[in-house]
Structure 1
Amino acid sequence: MTDEASHGGGRDADGEHADDNGHRGADGDHATDDDHDHADGHDHHGDDHHGDDHHGDDHHHEHDVDTVGYAVVTVSSTRRIDDDPSGDAVVAAVEDAGGEVATRDLVNDDYDGVQSAVDRLVERDDVDVVVTTGGTGVTPDDVTVEAVRPLFEKRLPGFGELFRTLSRAEIGTAVVGTRATGGVADGVPVFCLPGSENAARLGAEEIITAEAGHLVGLATRGEHDDENGDDESSSGTGDGN
């Protein structure tokens, strides 16, 4: 029994959900593939700072991104885009937080397919964060983590640790069966969530959307400082992360 089963999605006894994933065409086309001008849709300069009475928070969040564009990817060989509760939960969390869903995809439980999909998405100008659901369990066809990790130039171990901590209150020791993972690929935060609806909602609402603007701002800070002619070394605003 794993966290995905206890989070409320149907699944095989020893693997990822049998009914919580969706099928994607072999050609890998996005369900929604309309790019938009990244510069127009996203403010990467974090102008909305906290008040002077929280000076430390000012420095910590001064690079935050106001509007974040998300790619939502369901990893499965059985689901459809119109029958995808976990993807729906992520989309709802993103929209409730004021984010934008740039694209929503379905990908088969296949190492190469998952890796190429995420690799392609992090290159898109309108995608600031990638969130996958499904394929994080322990069955042989759960390959999302293995497929995505090689793309990371930095890992975010705190994401998986916090997700499992929050999940334990709901599912107890079954939390050992989830391998929820986060990292940064080509400057884009990527989060891999379990495939159950409850797990996807928990990770998206409680962690990802809460920290996405901050993480995106930090991951792309050098790019924006160069564009603006800022000298980070003399600003005294290093985040220390």
Structure 2
Amino acid sequence: MNQLLEGRVAVITGGAQGIGLSIARTYVEHGARVVLGDLDAASARASASDLGGDEVAIGVRCDVTSADEVQTLIDAAISTFGSLDVFVNNAGITRDATMRTMTEDDFDLVVDVHLKGTWNGTRLAAAHMRQHGSGAVVNISSLSGKVGMVGQTNYSAAKAGIIGLTKAAAKEMAHHGVRVNAIQPGLIRSAMTEAMPQKAWDAKMAEIPMQRVGEVGEVANVALFYASDLSSYMTGTVAEVTGGRFM
């Protein structure tokens, strides 16, 4: 197999499970060494061990709303593996509720984790990458940031904000050789989506022209593309991984 990320080091936030872990696994398969950042330090370490242990992966506790903790994550990548070539801003949470019932704290928390967390990761990773004249930042947005979803004024706002942030950062960093791109997944199979009521599931499936749910590996493949030289002339772009939903 062609090793698209041979010799590169990647940091993935929210990397202990789900889409983040799938991205990490795909990167390792393509020759990268990875640092998994996650609020759950034990899960991050366990997932790193599953990926092959200290030679290829380490797990580090990270609250992405704290710039200091994100910097610690970057420092761990450099001190352990010697560089930072790819940074994936994937960490996220949901606190769904209608506007009428959503608390201010739940609005602030979701915006902080997704939008401020992505800003922290993008700016701190780019600050290191620009010194070396190369690097790729991959930001995980959501289809909710394109169309807005009922009960997700906080999440949709944050995920839309990630697109604006991505484009602005891409313009700032292009002449430094650092690329910044975003992915908007649609309905992806996970523990969270499979716990949905059947009626909600059926309604979402009816909106998907490809008539199937996406798999985490299909998002990971696009994250691999953006991290690798295959996308060397792309920055500030948004890839929709949605099966054609809301195109």
TM-score interval, normalised by the smaller of the two chains: 0.3 to 0.5
Structure number with the higher helix fraction is: 2
| TM-score (normalizing by structure 1) | 0.39
Larger RCO: Structure 1 or Structure 2 (Cα < 8 Å, ≥ 6 residues apart)?
1
